Amino acid sequence: MFKAIFTNSFGILLSRILGFIRDLLTASALGANIYSDIFFIAFKLPNLFRRIFAEGAFTQVFIPAFARTRHKAVFSVNIFLVFVSIILLITLLVNILPALFTKAIAVGFSQETIAIAAPYVAINFWYLPLIFAMTFLSGMLQYKNHFATTAFSTALLNLSLIGALLLSHNKEESEIVYYLSVGVVIGGVLQLIAHIIAIYNMGLMKLLFGGVKYLRVKSKIIKKDTQKFRRNFFPAMWGNSTAQVSAFLDTFLASFLATGSISYLYYANRIFQLPLALFAIATSIALFPKIARYLKNNDEAKAKANLKKAFWFLAFVLTASTIGGIILSKEITWLLFQRGAFSATDTANTTAVLQMYMIGLLPFGLQKLFVLWLYAKEMQMQAAKIATLSLGVYVVMALSFISPFGVAGLALASTLGGVVSFVFTLKVFGFHEFFNFLKSKNSIYLLIFSLLFTDLLLEFQTFLFKMV
């Protein structure tokens, strides 16, 4: 398990390092203004649909279904063709009516700004069908315990965007956004090619060709499997999409605030997502296929033993990340972004948002771990209900906090929604089972570690202050 976690973490780390270089160059080239907001809007829309239709929901339903079915080739090809057809249709609609979709995600934008942003939205959206095809192939690779290609492939997107920024150096801001948009699509093509090569090397290409060959002949045989997949997918889609709806509402509400607010949310969230992805998401991806197999074979004891190991690993690393992120938030933001067009005021505003996000890192990260138990047991409906409740809490809190706290209030509302999601996920998993996890010397070690690490970082911050 830990070998797979390390592979995922290292791949994500490489990708995030390149992502921060990309963000550094973006902040330097565009700063936090209307054109940076336009690009983040254009890139956010396909990512919203990607996370709803692809990564989370699809993988969490596909892997258990793929493990269960006896007709893997025909089943997988059937599912792929249905989904890719829907996604291509959505992509065509966005390209026909880009202004309408842009307006939907950034209502606070003026008509003039929407007109400028719409062509970039249309270009960026072609990333969606490419990344779905990649996600489908990724699910098959994960079932075969191959994680490296998916973990490292995101780096290709970041390299493509870095190349676009370098090529657009000293050009007009509108041209820079165009180069970035084309870079997104090229990055998607590179990611898909990498997964096709991996599928070929793993010997899975024959399975896919066999599925295409016998699809018409055996389509009736997989009817029950596909029906069950659809029943599980839609609750899973909603459960995964609530986080994206929350991000959508962040952007929607921030578009009514001062110019640059969308960018502050983006930059702070990029920092917040590093430990979340590096540890929580990497662990969940590595653990999910194994948990699904154990539960399929009715070996719940081994499944919980693996879950417990992962829990304590995440408890320590996410606690350290939370403490470090809150105490050193200003220093981290200054180091990463304050140069070129990114001013000291931008650093202060991004820092306030980052601190609100970091409060929720531990519950967000642990929720990622425990929700996979629900998906492995095909409890997608329960997960969807929890996600809906969490979204409702976020909406109420966001509307309450936006006036007194501004853009930082939106981040705090997101954190509170995550806490609610974690608590109710534990309720379904079983509070008794969770407290059994906590009945360990590790709880005392974690408390001592937290106090010592906090004191160490405060001393380090004081040292930095004296140096400056």
Q: Does the pLDDT at position 230 exceed 60?
A: yes
Residue 25 CA neighbour count, 13 Å, CB half = 21
In the block, residue with structure tokens 């642990």:
366
| Per-residue pLDDT at 196 | 94
Q: Does the pLDDT at position 392 exceed 60?
A: yes
Q: Tell the burial category of 448 from Cβ atoms under 10 Å away from its Cβ (0-12, 13-18, 19+).
A: exposed
Cα separation, 113 vs 180, whole angstroms: 18
**What would the pLDDT profile of 41-77 be if each residue is shown by its tens digit?**
788 767 766 666 555 667 777 877 787 788 888 888 8
**What would the pLDDT profile of 81-117 be if each residue is shown by its tens digit?**
988 898 899 899 989 988 888 887 776 677 888 888 8
| Per-residue pLDDT at 246 | 80
In the block, residue with structure tokens 């830990």:
2
pLDDT band for position 452 (cuts 50, 70, 90): very high
Selection from 10, 18, 16, 21 nearest residue 336 by Cα: 21
Q: Does the pLDDT at position 209 exceed 80?
A: yes
How many domains does the structure of the chain reveal?
A: 1
| Per-residue pLDDT at 4 | 66
As a whole number, the mean pLDDT across the chain is 85
Q: Does the pLDDT at position 122 exceed 80?
A: yes
pLDDT band for position 366 (cuts 50, 70, 90): very high
Full-model pTM? 0.73
**What would the pLDDT profile of 280-290 be if each residue is shown by its tens digit?**
888 887 888 88
Share of the chain above pLDDT 90, in %: 31
271 token code pair: 């920092």
Q: Does the pLDDT at position 239 exceed 80?
A: no
| Per-residue pLDDT at 210 | 82
In the block, residue with structure tokens 């997964």:
195
Query: What number is the average pLDDT over the span 418-433?
Result: 93
Residue 326 neighbours by CB distance under 10 Å: 17
Structural domain harbouring 187: 2-467
